Amino acid sequence: MALPRTSTGEPSTVPARVLRLAPEPRAEIERSAREAYPSEVCGVLLGRRVGDGIAVEEVARARNLRVGAAPGGESARSFELDPGALVAAEDRARTLGLEIVGIWHSHPDAPAIPSEEDRRSAWRGWCHLIVAVDRNSITDVRAWLLDRGEIPIVSAPSAEAARSISSFRLA
Ligand SMILES: [Zn+2]
């Protein structure tokens, strides 16, 4: 998998310090997490690098290859992203003038903290958004750069606001 690239086509080298999340992608992630419960669900984050932050403007849901693969039909408590979804997401990103900026997945009945397996399989430089979900509700949403730690999520009022450079000029 290629490194995320900036709008100039150069690989991103500045680590992101904040993730700005527009309302639509957030709602879609939360809806998917609740639908898939008690299995994990996963997908791709599309957006752009803006300054030292990441703006998420759209999400793609991917097939979790572990769903249905567990013996006895148990729900999937881990995820393996369908590689075909990454290819489709790259196409979609190109069409929209965006890039893939990360991966999202759910943690049913578990905190929104990367598991050992998450850390082992992490793509360096990509943001991992984890949504914690239980039977009744979304309990937490957190963003991680797995080689650096957690970064704050800022709820942007719109996709336009999410990608506005001025909105990254935070104190
Ligand atoms: Zn996980």
Could you tell me the end-to-end alpha-carbon distance of the chain, in angstroms, rounded to an integer?
34
Cα(18) to centroid of ligand 1, in Å?
Answer: 20
- Distance CA(115)–CA(111), nearest Å, equals 9
Cα(165) to centroid of ligand 1, in Å?
Answer: 31
Closest to 54 (Cα-Cα) out of 46, 64, 62: 46
| DSSP structure class, residue 145 | E
Q: Give yes or no for residue 132 having a pLDDT over 50.
A: yes
Cα(105) to centroid of ligand 1, in Å?
Answer: 6
Percent of the chain whose predicted confidence (pLDDT) is above 70: 84
Sequence ranges of the domains in the chain: 18-165
Q: Give the highest mean pLDDT range of 65-74, 109-118, 157-166.
A: 109-118
Report the pLDDT value the prediction gives residue 71, as an integer from 0 to 100.
Answer: 67
Cα(117) to centroid of ligand 1, in Å?
Answer: 7
- Distance CA(39)–CA(67), nearest Å, equals 7
Average pLDDT value over all residues in the chain: 86
Give pairs for 24-27: CB < 8 Å, separation 24+: 24/58, 24/159, 25/56, 25/57, 25/58, 25/59, 26/141, 26/155
> pTM score, two decimals?
0.85
Question: Model confidence over 8-32: pLDDT tens digits?
Answer: 444 455 678 899 999 999 999 999 9
Cα(106) to centroid of ligand 1, in Å?
Answer: 7
Cα(78) to centroid of ligand 1, in Å?
Answer: 6
Q: Which CATH superfamily is domain 18-165 in?
A: Cytidine Deaminase, domain 2 (3.40.140.10)
Cα(164) to centroid of ligand 1, in Å?
Answer: 30
